[in-house]
Each structure stands twice: as C-alpha cells, then as structure tokens.
A and B are shown apart, each in its own frame.
Chain A
Amino acid sequence: MTVADTSDKATVLSAHERAEIDSWLARYPAEQRQSALLGALRAVMHEDHYLSVPKMDAVAAYLGLPPIAVYEVASFYSIFETDERAAARHSISVCTNISCMLNGADDILSHIEKKLGVRLGESTPDRKFYLKREEECLAACCGAPMMQVDHVYYTELTPEKVDSILDGLE
C-alpha cells in the first residue's frame, strides 16, 4: 500500500524531522515518496544518532512504505547505525585501508582507543564518542593517515593532532 499515514505512528517523528523529510519530498514526484527515504533516515540520524525501530516504522508510515523497505535501506548503508549502542554525539571513523595503514593508521586507532577507553565499534559511556568500525577507504589517501569525525575529514594525523581535535569537540 502506498497510502501515506501521516497520523498515529508517524507522530513519533519530531517537528524538525518532519520538516526535513518534507523538504526532501518536495524534490521528487508526489507518487514517488520512497525517493525521500535516504533523506528521511539522514534526518533521524541527525537527531538520535541511530535509527531505532520505532523511528524507522514512523518513517515508513510517513512515506507510505512497508516497514521492511525501510529496514532494508537502513541496514544496507554503513552510514546508518541501527544499534542503540552506537548512538553518540560524535562518530569517529579512522580509515585503516591500505594507504592509511602504511602511514600509521593502526597507531592512531590504538591511541584513540586508549584515550577514549573504548574498543573499535563501541561508544563512550557518556555517549559523547562512538568509534565506528570503518571498512571502506574514505578516499583521502593523499592525506593519510586520516579520520572522519561526523562530516569532517582530518588528514595527516598524529596522536597530538587527534587529541586537539577530539578535545575541541563539545
């Protein structure tokens, strides 16, 4: 059924999330609400830092999709987190692919692990940092080793540089 349900379940979404989804919906033909799905999930990620099942169901109801269609997309992309334990204000991805590895990414990673007191794939108890397991090259080989914190790339890392970047975050 492609009849959007804007009441009930969809009320789980915040006003900001709805506004964001609406702005994505405006860019696509009216009968293709599915097109706004990535944008909708991005909006939820921004608010909650992960995609809970109730939020995904709400997005499904808002866009008129079967919930499984939302689960499929959410679980496919590594930019989306579906585990509550991954929810933290800042997401850190250290590239450990070939160029970064050759330039000392492993040292950078263990430095961060020691500094935050968490292992790869965990978030700090205060929910400030999530150390994401990054499996792909982040395409910044010329600045290796590098990491991505939220949407920002930081290149040519040293342990000191990492400290100042992470300490500077709210």
Chain B
Amino acid sequence: MSDELVSFEVNGQTLQARPGSMLIAATDAAGITVPRFCYHKKLSVAANCRMCLVEVEKAPKPMPACATPIMAGMKVWTNSPKARAAQKDVMEFLLINHPLDCPICDQGGECELQDLSVGFGNSSSEYVEIKRVVRDKDIGPLIETAMTRCIHCTRCVRFGEEIAGLRELGATGRSQYTEIGTYVAKAVTSELSGNVIDVCPVGALTAKPSRYTARPWEMRSYDSIAPHDCVGSNIHVHTARGKVVRVVPRENEAINECWISDRDRFSYEGLQSQDRLLKPQIKRDGHWKEVSWQEALESVSGILRKQLAFNVTAFAGSSSTLEEFFLFQKLLRGLNIKNIDHRLRQVDFSDQSFVPVASGLGVSFTDLEQQQAIFLIGANPRHDQPMLNHRIRKASLAGARILALTPRKLAFNYAAEQIVAAPLAMVTELAVLVKAALEAANQTVPTALADLLANVEVSDTARSQVELFKAPNSLILLGQMAVQHSAFSSLRSLASVLAQVTGAKLGYLPEANSLAANLVGVLPHRGLAGKAVAEPGLHVNAALSDKNLTTVVLMNAELDDFANPQQTLKALRAAKHVIVFAPFADTQARDYATVLLPTSTFVETSGTLINAEGLWQSFKGVVTPPGEVRPLWKVLRVLGNALNLPDFDYVETSEIIAELKLELQAVPLTAMGQLPDSLMVTKQAANTMQRIGDVPIYRTDALVRRAKSLQAMLASPAVRMHSADMDRLGITVGDLVRLGQGDSYVQLPAEADEAVPEGCVWVQSATEAARALGSAFGSIMVDKG
C-alpha cells in the first residue's frame, strides 16, 4: 500500500485516499453513509454480511465497500438505484431468519439491524415459511445469548481471535445450520470478553448483568474514567432512574481504543452491594449506632485531636482519587501524624528512599505497542492491566520478543518466553541476566549488587536472553508481583542496572491510582511532590506491628487490600479507634472498625486519576450518592475545617487540581532510581514452602470484590501445587490441605497445577480464604490436613 493519495469519486463527490485501502474507510471518513454489519474498523475484513454493497463503475455486479480496494479514478455510487436495490435485497435475506422480537430484545433501540431495517427493509416480507430457531448457549455470567437473533457477521469471532487473543467463539455447522457458539458448553474466559456485546450488531450477545433493566432511550450517558487499574480507560456510565445500569467504552485511541476490560465494564454491580454504607455509624460499647454526619465528624476530630500523633497510623487504598489522596495527607500532616502509607500490598521497604518519586510505564501507551522487546518482571498484565496487555500483544504480533520472569507459569495470549522461578529464586534468575548483561557490555559489578551477583553463574541461555535488549526499542516492566515481593528492593535494583547496562527503558505497571498517591505524598517518608519530610513516619509494615498504635485511619482500604491480612487484622483489633472512610463495610470491617463514615465511589464524586503514562484525567459525579453518602473529598475538607486546619476551603475538586498541577507535573516521571548501598540476600525458612499470593483479577479493590457477576468468573479458592510436591507430601487432588502462616491456618482443597514451580504453593491473596493467612509472597507451612 502506497502512502500517496489518489482521487476517486463517490456519489459525484471527489475524495482522496491511499490506493488499496478499503472503500468503506474512505466513505466513513467523508461522512457518507454505507450500511454494514460485519465491517468493524478494528477487525479484519470478512465481507460476509454483504450489507455494504455499492455500485462501482465498470463492475458488472454491486461490490462490498468493505472489501473493495480504492483505485485512482474509480467511480462509486452508494445510493444509486442499483446500490439501493442490492442493499434492500441483502436486508430482506438477513430478515428471513431474524426473529421479530424487538419488543423483548435488550438491544432494541440501539440495534444496528433495527436501525438499518428502517432504511433498507420492506414493511412486509415475502418469506412465509418457518424461521429457523437456534438454541441459546450459556457462555458465562457476563454475556447473555439469544442466538436465533444472530446474523452471522462473525464480529465476535474475529474479536476473539484478533483482539482478545483467545479464540473461544466460532461458527460451527454449515449453511442454514451455521451457529455461533463455543460448540462445547463452556464459559467465555477472556478478560476482554464483554466487548463482544458492543461489537454484536444485533441482540444475539447482550450484557447479562444489565439485562432487562432499562431501554437505551431511558438511559442518560455520562463520561467517566474507570478507576480499577493504572490505565484509566475512558468510559460512558449509563444511568436510569438515578442508578448506574451499565458501563460501556468511550473511544479514546490513545488509551483504551474502543474497548474496555470486563473489570471496568461490570464493576458497577458492586454499587448495589449489601455491604454499602448508607449512614455514619459509631460503635459504642460494642454496638453500632447510626449518627448524624456532624456527630460522626465531631467524634473523629475528637479522637484525632486527643491521640498522640505518633500513635496514629493512616492507610489509603490505591483506587482513591488524586484529590482524596491530597486532602488525606494534608489533613493528617496538619495534625502532625506521620505514619501515612498507601503501599498496602508492599512488604519490602528497605530501599524506599532510593525509589524515584513517580514511576510510570516509562513509555506512552501508544509507544508500548511499538516496542521491539519487552521484559516483564513479576507482571501479569493480562489480569492486572488488560488494556495494556492488549498493547503488549500488538507489539508481540508485530514481532516484538516478550520475555517474562514470573513465579508461576502465566497464560499469556501471545508468544512469550517464560523464566518460571519460585519467588526467592526470581532474584537469582534476574541476577543471572544482569551478570550476563554486564559481561556482554564489559562492565564491572556495581557494589550494591556485589552480594547478589557473587555466587551466580552466567548461563548460555541467559546470554541469549539478554540479546533481546539489543533491539532499539526495548522496555523492562516491573509488575505487581515484583512490587509485592519480599525482596522487591533487590528486584528493583537489578532491573535498574539491567536497564542502565542495556539501554532499555524501565517502567512499572502500578496499582490503580498509586502514581497519584506517590506524587502527593501519601507516604511516611515523602511529602507533596516527593519532598523529603523532616521526620519520616513508619511504613505500613512497621506501623502495623508498632506496639504504641492506638488509632488507625483507613481510607478506601479494607483487609483484602493488605499484603498481610493476618497482621493487619491483629493490629486493627488491638487498636482503640479504627476510623473508616469507605463506601463499603463487611462483617469483618464492622468488627474491627469503631467509626464508619459512608463515602463515595467513583460514580458519586468528582475526581482525578493519573494513569501509568502520567496522564491526568478528571471526571465528574454521575449519580447522587445513596443514603447519606457524601463525596469523600468533601468529608475530608469538612473534617479539615472542623479541626481548624489552614487552607481547607476548596469548593470544587478543580481548585485542588489547579493548585497541584504545576507542582506535580514538574516531577519527572522515571523509574530509574538510585541503588541502595547494599542489598540483602533473602533465605527461605526451613521446612516451609513459598507462597505465590498474587491478587486475582476480580479482587483488586472494594468495588470489584462486590461485583457479583465478576465474582462468578473466579475459580473457587484452592491451593494449587506441582504434582511432584503433592506426591512428596502425600496429597491427592481434592484433599483438604492445611496452610499455616504465622499463628493461624486455613484449609483449602488441593489442585494439581504444573504451572507452579516445585517448592511453591499458589494461594491467591485478597480472597476470603486468604484472610487468615500472612504475607502474600512469604513462606508457608503446608501439610495434609
């Protein structure tokens, strides 16, 4: 395809396009309507619906605009009598088997077939025979099927193959027996599966959670930003009768293109959770009492004023907004409280002062797909950042080499070479690569790494693996399993040196809005814009084990957000006051909390999220908060005023943003930190196994954890281990296995999983079963229960 433009004519209008590009793309760009069902700009051309037939000069028959390449001087008519006749004929064929059940179809009102049949259909059909009926399939809790309505455009099939990278749907059978489905009864598992609902032009695939709740014309659409990962996908939130009824993508080519992840699409279900807090409550003598906001805030300010600042610790969850983070730390620092942290899943803080203030992805999202080599360290982007995984997949399809260092074998949806090593061995494996890279570059070992590199042997495999970074565009990414690792400082330092030596870029796949929390200083050792504080407070790990602790403030954080729920629960139970700012409280939270303040979710407040490429995206509230719920930033502001703290007079979140933007955007976004003076080599405790405790895709934050349909997508909790370990311990599949960390244990059924390295058990975090357990990546006692 040449880059030079050629001229051609459509309906007498002269257009220009690249020769060989498809006619429909040019007519779309020029705003000329051509009806279509199977064509989708992001999918390959199938040309099977024939709806886009147009008349082309010198062509004996009408041609499909989606599959007709443009040639210089060609003349096209999209609505000539010949074109119209062809389009009407195709519509007649499509309607032969399509049921006339629009009144009970969820797609009614936003159906491409319904719309086009108004323009191209006949008021009556000549077809009087029996219509075909196709049995509906159950393809899981997210997508409802009504396959009799399917017109076989195959958009969903092509989406699976080309975008989701997981071909689960297909067209089986032939001619009138053709059916779209999975053939064998199975749930569609792709983390992007919900997008087939949008690409389906008819009502064959609709959203199961929002089925029959509202008609499209009853809904109001609001622009918003999805808060569940560091992408900040642009979304439309649809409401009806004051409630959020569904979420759909808002196109933004630079961020989420025209897709969103299932997590962003269906998390709104959590808004209706039983756990929703609707009124401020205070616990008195072990009983909860509903109180007014005034009474609640007076009580909170009383507690905070009375306690000695060093006995108070405050934790914030990573899905809070920039404004909430800012006011939170401002409020606490105003009271001289220093133990502030948002790194709730992190356990290794030994090099925290060497870590750069703000580390993002290292490249823009659009540049991510231009990389020629990507090295993922402890990252599972498919689950943690589905839309970034989509970009990595595009890079891979374009020929990029993907290498992954991971504690368990991951199911990538592209070709990736995996170095699978038990958590502690990951450090050694990375050290081998670093040594190989230093060797290749003829450089000496930095002193900080001396211990780590002392006993490692460079292998030929490692030598060939570091060749990867010879590509001009190469990127090293540290994922959440690296950040939560017990030797994160070693992984980080090794990765920095690897980047330095090879010239690769270094970046992180951060948690939700944690970049904003780092920038405004929801940290014990850094204030606004990364400025060092005079007297650093305690990091989360130290604060939780601090004996002086009397008061804990939790903002959008609950037990499942912490790396070590066992330690956290113990500290929370021991504390005299636990003040919770959150939209939800489950039985456990009602047990440890003493004050519950009902605050907003992302649809009930204005706010700003900073995504992994450093982009600030502000959004507005969509619905009126239920009950007495108030936007969290306003609660913090009022509390600031009640405590007579200076400069708490913001009227709009935009004022906070205006105040912060210049200062925070001046902070360079880089992941290349300094090296600490020395690094410890962690040894495994005797007679234990290592736990791999990554967070499941739909357990990342409080809202997602309460979205019913997403929860139904998760596998039931189990302990998964290599069959060799099962044999060694005399465990068979299905046996209840006793898992102990610290002073409590849980029993979970065993499952064999060869993706788990020997000596490890895969027991995921942030689940109810894992609450009695300790550190997500720590050592664990395993025996037959």
Interface residues of A (CB under 8 A from B): 1-3, 53, 66-69, 71-72, 75-78
Contacts and interface: CB of A to CB of B under 8 A. Distances in A.
Contact of B172 (A2, A3, A53, A71): A71
B170 A76 contact: no
Contact of A66 (B168, B171, B414): B168
A68 B183 contact: yes
Contact of A68 (B167, B174, B413, B415): B167
B170 A71 contact: yes
A39 B172 CA distance: 19
Nearest to B183: A71
Nearest to A57: B184
B174 A75 contact: yes
B177 to A, nearest CB: 8
Contacts of A67: 183-184
A76 B167 contact: no
B169 interface: yes
A68 B173 contact: no
- Interface SS of chain B: loop
B184 A75 contact: no
A66 B167 contact: yes
A75 B183 contact: yes
A10 B174 CA distance: 27
A148 B415 CA distance: 46
A31 to B, nearest CB: 12
B48 interface: no
Nearest to B168: A68
Query: Closest 4 CB pairs between A and B?
Result: A68-B170, A71-B183, A66-B167, A75-B172
Nearest to B172: A75
Given A1-B413, A3-B415, A66-B167, A72 B172 contact: yes
Interface of B: 161, 165-174, 182-184, 412-415
B189 to A, nearest CB: 12
Contact of B171 (A3, A53, A72, A78): A72
A75 B174 CA distance: 7
Contacts, number: 40
B407 to A, nearest CB: 21
A69 B413 contact: no
A121 to B, nearest CB: 14
Contacts of B169: 68
A1 B415 contact: yes
A67 B183 CA distance: 9
A71 B167 contact: no
Contact of B173 (A2, A3, A75): A75
Contacts of A72: 170-172, 183
A7 to B, nearest CB: 10
Contacts of B171: 72
B333 to A, nearest CB: 50
A53 B167 contact: no
Contacts of A78: 174
B184 A71 contact: yes
Contact of A53 (B168, B170, B184, B414): B184
26 contacts: A1-B412, A1-B413, A1-B414, A1-B415, A2-B415, A3-B415, A66-B166, A66-B167, A66-B168, A67-B184, A68-B167, A68-B168, A68-B169, A68-B170, A68-B172, A68-B182, A71-B172, A71-B183, A72-B170, A72-B172, A75-B172, A75-B173, A76-B172, A76-B173, A77-B174, A78-B174
A53 B183 CA distance: 10
A156 to B, nearest CB: 31
Contacts of A2: 415
Contacts of B173: 75-76
Given A1-B413, A67-B184, A76-B174, 5 more contacts: A2-B415, A66-B166, A71-B170, A72-B170, A77-B174
A76 B182 CA distance: 14
Contacts of B183: 67-68, 71-72, 75
Nearest to B166: A66
B188 to A, nearest CB: 11
Nearest to B169: A68
Contacts of A71: 170, 172, 183-184
B170 A69 contact: yes
Nearest to A65: B167
A53 B172 CA distance: 14
A78 B168 CA distance: 23
A3 B184 CA distance: 22
Contacts of A77: 174
Contacts of B413: 1
Contacts of B184: 53, 67, 71
A69 B170 CA distance: 7
The CB with the most chain A CB atoms within 10 A, among B166, B170, B415, is that of B170
